Amino acid sequence: MKRVLITGAAGFLGSHLCDRFIKEGYHVIGMDNLLTGSLDNIQHLFPLKEFEYYHHDITKFVHVPGELDYILHFASPASPIDYLKMPIQTLKVGALGTHNLLGLAKAKKARILVASTSEVYGDPLIHPQKEDYWGNVNPVGPRGVYDEAKRFLEAITMAYHNFHGVETRIVRIFNTYGPRMRVDDGRALPAFFAQAIRGEGLTVFGDGSQTRSFCYVDDLVEGIYRLLLSGHHLPVNIGNPDEISIKGFAEEILALVGNPDAKITYKELPKDDPKVRQPDITKAREILGWEPTVPRAEGLKITLDYFREHVK
């Protein structure tokens, strides 16, 4: 049985990855320090003998007994309000945490896939974003703590590949949504769903003309699974190119939830908020034979069921 370590296992994406690798017949070792995650996301896995959980802060030396075939490094605060509240932890987990996991991969001769982000493109001047675009990031702005941590993550991952011959994979993840997003994590989708269900104002920042492209979590997990098993060590975008303005997105959620008390309200646009974002997924199509299959209307319906159960 192949053994895989997943960091950030109690988080949104990490928990879905645990499910997928269990389903594929792997022994899964989940690691997390619950900084932004919750054991509720992986509670259902605890009875399984194929699953182990280690409570550990990966910015400290990481030890895992036994052999490892694969490491999926997903630990990091990911929502803007989380990383603005915890700037030092965010930098440390992207830098020291990634270094520790690469060291572990080298020691265990394991293949490691690291979670990068569309934020490495910053407020992009090229649209849609292709992997060979170097980005437009403000290193000293509020989002710099996340963006630069992830740019460092990519750089040190490439260095371990080139210098130590570690088998590495880098996924650049674009906005992803689905069940198990934290209701209060401040990202647009949880905020809008919670506000619409409660009959509050949907807080659209700025005039809502900025765009994002939202990918359903199952599609993302499939892309990551294929990338891990592929032979490609350079960064690959995984995301859904179906782009929408944030105002349009709020309107879709209003219509879907159907609460007559909920309306759009406008708030100030946060500093350095990217104006556009859409993945060019040509590379994923060619190398992985991957493309998203879940349309937003369908993914949002499944996600709404989750939020109806979890919004208080």
270 binds ligand UDP (CB under 6 A): yes
Site residues for ligand NAD, 235-274, by CB under 6 A, read none
Task: Give the interface segment with ligand NAD, choosing from 2-10, 136-144, 285-293, 297-305 (CB under 6 A).
Answer: 2-10
Q: Which of 35, 183, 264, 311 binds ligand NAD (CB under 6 A)?
A: 35
Q: Which of 19, 52, 57, 219 binds ligand NAD (CB under 6 A)?
A: 57
Task: Give the interface segment with ligand UDP, choosing from 34-42, 152-160, 199-207, 285-293 (CB under 6 A).
Answer: 199-207
Give the residue from 12, 24, 8, 9 showing the smallest Cα distance to 222. Answer: 24
Give which of ligand NAD, ligand UDP, none residue 203 binds (C-beta under 5 to 8 Å, depending on kind): ligand UDP
Nearest approach, Cβ of residue 263 and ligand NAD (Å): 26
Give the residue from 195, 173, 210 showing the smallest Cα distance to 257. Answer: 195
* 115 beta partners: 171
Q: Which of 4, 5, 10, 281 binds ligand NAD (CB under 6 A)?
A: 10
Of residues 195 and 240, the one with the C-beta less far from ligand NAD:
240
| Integer Cα distance of 67 and 98 in angstroms | 19
Structure tokens at 286: 């060619």
Q: Are the CB atoms for 221 and 171 separated by under 8 Å?
A: no
Q: Which of 4, 6, 8, 19 binds ligand NAD (CB under 6 A)?
A: 8
Sign of CA dihedral 185, 191, 194, 199: positive
Of residues 63 and 275, the one with the C-beta less far from ligand UDP:
275
Nearest approach, Cβ of residue 69 and ligand NAD (Å): 21
Please state the φ and ψ torsions of residue 122, each to the nearest 5 degrees: 60, -140
Give which of ligand UDP, ligand NAD, none residue 3 binds (C-beta under 5 to 8 Å, depending on kind): none
Q: Which of 91, 191, 300, 304 binds ligand UDP (CB under 6 A)?
A: 191
Q: Which residues are catalytic?
A: 146
| Integer Cα distance of 59 and 101 in angstroms | 9
Sign of CA dihedral 283, 7, 100, 71: negative
Give which of ligand NAD, ligand UDP, none residue 237 binds (C-beta under 5 to 8 Å, depending on kind): none
| Integer Cα distance of 92 and 277 in angstroms | 26
3-class DSSP assignment, residue 70: strand
160 binds ligand NAD (CB under 6 A): no
Residue type, 121: Y
Give the residue from 37, 41, 1 showing the smallest Cα distance to 21. Answer: 1
Give which of ligand UDP, ligand NAD, none residue 110 binds (C-beta under 5 to 8 Å, depending on kind): none
92 binds ligand UDP (CB under 6 A): no
Structure tokens at 2: 């192949």
Structure tokens at 178: 């689905």
Site residues for ligand NAD, 175-214, by CB under 6 A, read 175-176
Q: How many residues does the chain have?
A: 312
* Residue written as token pair 């995984």: 238
Provide the strand spans (E) within 137-194: 168-173, 176-177
List residues near ligand UDP by CB under 6 A: 79-80, 175, 187-188, 191, 203-205, 210, 212, 246, 270, 273
Which residues sit at the interface with ligand NAD, rule CB under 6 A? 7-8, 10-14, 32-37, 57-59, 74-78, 93, 97, 115, 117, 173, 175-176
